[in-house]
Structure 1
Amino acid sequence: MGNTVLERVRALLPAISERARTTDESGRVPEETVGELIDAGVFRMLQPRPFGGQEADPVEFYEVVRAISAACCSTGWITSVLGVHPWQLGLFPEAAQTEVWDPDPDTLVSSAYAPVGRLTPVDDGYRLTGRWSFSSGCHYARWALLGALVVGDQGRPVDFLTVLVPRSDYRIEEAWDVVGLRGTASNDILVDQAFVPRHRVIRNYDQAQLKGPGQRINPGPLYRLPFAAVFTSAVTAPVVGAVTGGYDSYVSMTKERVRLSLGGGRFAEDPYAQVAIARAACEIDATILQMDHNIREMTVRAAEGRDIPMELRLRTRRDQVRGTERAIAAIDLLFKTAGGTSLRRGSPIERAWRDAHAGSVHVANDVERTLAMYGRGALGLTVEDNLV
């Protein structure tokens, strides 16, 4: 049938590319761009059908994210992060989904998953207080998914939850002044003693066990996939997209570039440039092939009602973090061999280099820790982690 959303998005890419520098310098994706992406249906790709979504193949979603990120990584990043949240919301109780999407199925939800919030049990729910950083695209969202710990009588954490909070219950504080992904406006969220009813809470342990109350109304295979696979892939996809955009710019530039030193000549004839292109292209292709293959295998197993084994979950995380690592190796190589032109602020290669490196420091891209988990599993040791 084809990726119809991707076809609509391709028509938007020239304008997104033209706005990339302004997005980077202003620190925010233009409202016009977000509106165009909403109209294209991007944010409904992983949204449940009962609430106006498409329940699309997640591989198609990541394909769209990579295409947008190649034009502007900040735009691709908030597309991916805001676009993956409807999938997680589909695991919440029906009442929470109704509360968010009944008024408007295009409602966006941001997140900050670090468990820095404090939840105190009260009648019919909790009281939430905390401050969260790095909530990408929060200015476009009317709700937020926030990580929090339930604190017992002894003052010790007894459970780790993700809670859903409306915009009226938190304030956003401008705190985003960074080197890369500047346009994501990943600012801070502050909550002070907000009441959270029980239907707006999901246990991270249950989620890691591939369970969620929302599965009763959203029984499709999409909502039987591991959070660790779906979310972390949404973090790597923009990085790979940014590097792909940098690669395309490098190839285009190299075709026309003439050497002004070392005897002159066209860069296209330089074997070192040719080798750099080959290596970078191979890293990008290998990343996409491995990541898409793993997500497809998970989706097929979920559709057939089969278990998703730990071996596959660990392999998916292994290939996802290695995908980020490969993408960084590719853009580093291109940045180095592009010469002084890659230093110009705002050039596509320079921006791709900054944005890819910024995305690589996300907790989902902790390469060594994730590879150690894979090694533990391969050696028959127990692996306990919420991101697997």
Structure 2
Amino acid sequence: MTTVAHTPPSGTRHTVADDIAGVCEAARTHRAYGEEHSTLHPQVWEALRSSPLPRAALPKHCGGLEWGAPHIVEAVRVVAAADPSAGWAAAIHAPAGAFLARLDPPLAKELCPPSETAVAAPVIGGSSVPAGTTAPAGDRMRLQGRWPLVTSAPQLTLAALAARTEEGTRWWLVPGTELRVEDDWDAVGLRGSASHSVSCDTLVPAGHSVCLTDPARIDGALYRFPLYGLMAACIAAVAEATAERALEAFAALAQTARPRHATGSLAHLPAAQEHYAAASARLSAASAFMREAAGQAWHDAVRGQVENAARARLRAAGAHLAATSAEVCQSVFEAAGAAGLYRSSPLEGCWRDAAVASRHALVAAHGRRLAGAQMLTGSAGGHL
């Protein structure tokens, strides 16, 4: 995604990278920690919590920043370039503040009191798997269930957990202190994301739930931008950054690796050259499609309304970029041959991380089907 800059009161030029420099430095320094411990290093968690990212999409009346959608996506991509697992955490938490824009402001403030410090900003995440059940309990609802794949589960201060109701699926906002976290995240990729299962049996105020397909209760370009599309774009940005790193790693490895029976380095083999050129072109094309679709949707949101056709293109672009990124990582991993098998090379890690990222429901087959349904039948608008 294209870097979005804004000008602070001092008049000096300020970029996305400036906003998250501390997160990126910590993520690069402790990248290997997540592979070994299935969670980010404590210094990375602290840097994330203290950064603007948890407040990026949070309403201003909750102490949020209400960044533009392109700004949020670019910030996620930059963090993911430092470490995909840290980028994944950013991809989940940065857009999640927009959930509270779907509550009446007084209720949102109850869940997220305004604060002058980024340290006090909420860490919001959850699960869209409707694994919960609800039942009336006086003026509250009893929420029970077990939800898998909850990113940063031990760090959440507020969890949005999906449950089916008579009105459809709703996300119930539960304090992190009410969650029981199961230490079961042992995946092949994005190992540092701590995407554990959580469960709860708790009473939730009836008003503390949202439907993500409902319009926001407050106006603003960020909240007119499709929330599902924003989350999908953030996830795709993690895959994109991972594929970019894989291409860089392959180019570096190709200068020194000498395949058996070859007279020169891998870089001089026609087959390797073809693989690299094709992979670079595919990623560039998918990235350009993502930039165009996201840029058009943001332009429409700023002007007033994002039509369903633009929403479908945004979802299709996110799914395509995630899938293409995974294919690129696999392609250069295979093209590296035996030289790519060693963990001293980033190639195998990129392949694993991109494979996991591309399986998220927002950018996997379900996301493509929704986009295609809207394009062909006009029937998926509310879920885009």
Q: What does 1:1-388 correspond to in 2, within 5 Å?
A: 1-2=5-6, 4-10=15-21, 13=24, 15-102=26-113, 104=115, 105-150=120-165, 157-192=166-201, 194-203=202-211, 207-209=212-214, 211-213=215-217, 215=218, 219-255=219-255, 257-305=256-304, 307-345=305-343, 347-367=345-365, 369-379=366-376, 381-384=377-380, 387-388=383-384
Tell me, in whole angstroms, the C-alpha distance in 2 between the residues paired with 1:19 and 1:43.
20
Cα displacement (A) at 1:212: 2.9
Q: Percent identity?
A: 24
Contact 2:235 2:357 survives alignment (8 Å): yes
Q: 1:94 to 1:24 in 2, by over 3 A?
A: same
Question: Hey, what's the Cα distance between the residues in 2 that align with 1:246 and 1:353?
Answer: 8
Give the counterpart letter for 1:171 in structure 2. Answer: R
Cα distance change on mapping 1:143 and 1:258 into 2, 3 Å: closer
Contact in 2 for aligned 1:126/1:198 (Cα 8 Å)? yes
Deviation at 1:283, TM superposition (A): 2.3
Is this contact kept in 1: 2:249–2:345, CA < 8 A? no
Contact 2:276 2:332 (C-alpha < 8 Å) held by counterparts:
yes
TM-aligned CA distance change 1:382 to 1:62, over 3 Å:
closer
Q: Secondary structure at the match of 2:102?
A: coil
The alpha carbon displacement at 1:183 in A equals 1.0
Indicate how the Cα distance of structure 1 residues 245 and 9 shifts in structure 2: closer, same or farther if over 3 A, else same: farther
The 8 Å contact of residues 19 and 51 in structure 2, kept in 1 or not, is answered as yes
Q: Is the 8 A contact 1:71 1:242 kept in 2?
A: no
- Superposition deviation, residue 15 in structure 1: 4.4
Q: Which runs of 5+ in 1 are unaligned?
A: 151-156
C-alpha distance in structure 1 between counterparts of 2:372 and 2:252, whole Å? 40
SS state at 2:88 partner = helix
Cα RMSD of the aligned pairs, angstroms, is: 2.2
Change (3 A) 1:250 1:11: farther
SS in 2 for 1:189: strand
Alpha carbons of 1:229 and 1:20: their partners in 2 closer, same or farther (altered >3 Å)?
A: same
Output the CA distance in 2 between the equivalents of 1:264 and 1:14. 40
Rounded to whole Å, the distance in 2 between the matches of 1:346 and 1:158 is 52
8 A contact 2:189–2:352 mirrored in 1: yes
User: What is the one-letter code of the residue matched to 2:208?
Assistant: R
Aligned to 1:190, what secondary structure does the other structure show? strand
SS, match of residue 208 in structure 1: coil
Kept in 2, the 8 Å contact 1:65–1:241? The answer is no
Q: Call closer, same or farther: CA 1:82–1:376 in 2, change over 3 Å.
A: closer
- C-alpha distance in structure 2 between counterparts of 1:340 and 1:14, whole Å: 31
Output the CA distance in 1 between the equivalents of 2:371 and 2:97.
28
- How much does 1:161 deviate? 0.8
Secondary structure at 1:179's aligned position in 2?
coil
For the structure 1 residues 228 and 128, does the alpha-carbon distance in structure 2 shift closer, same or farther, using more than 3 Å as the test? Answer: same
SS of match in other structure, 1:363? coil
Bigger mean CA offset, 23-32 vs 267-276: 267-276
Cα offset, 1:10, TM superposition: 4.5
Distance (Å, rounded) in 2 between the aligned partners of 1:201 and 1:11: 33
Judge which range, 57-66 or 268-277, deviates more.
Answer: 268-277
Does structure 2 conserve the Cα–Cα contact (< 8 Å) formed by 1:5 and 1:40?
no
How far off its partner does 1:128 sit? 0.7
| TM-score between the two structures when normalised by the length of structure 1 | 0.88
SS of 1:199's partner is coil
Amino acid at match of 2:379: V
Residues 35 and 168 of structure 1: is their aligned pair in 2 closer, same or farther, counting only changes over 3 Å?
closer
Instruction: Give the secondary-structure state (helix, strand or coil) at the position aligned to 1:149.
Output: strand
Structure 2 residues not aligned, in runs of 5+: 7-13
Supply the distance in 2 between the matched residues of 1:240 and 1:18 (Cα, whole angstroms).
21
Distance in 1, matches of 2:20 and 2:369, equals 38
Aligned to 2:20, the other structure's residue is in SS state helix
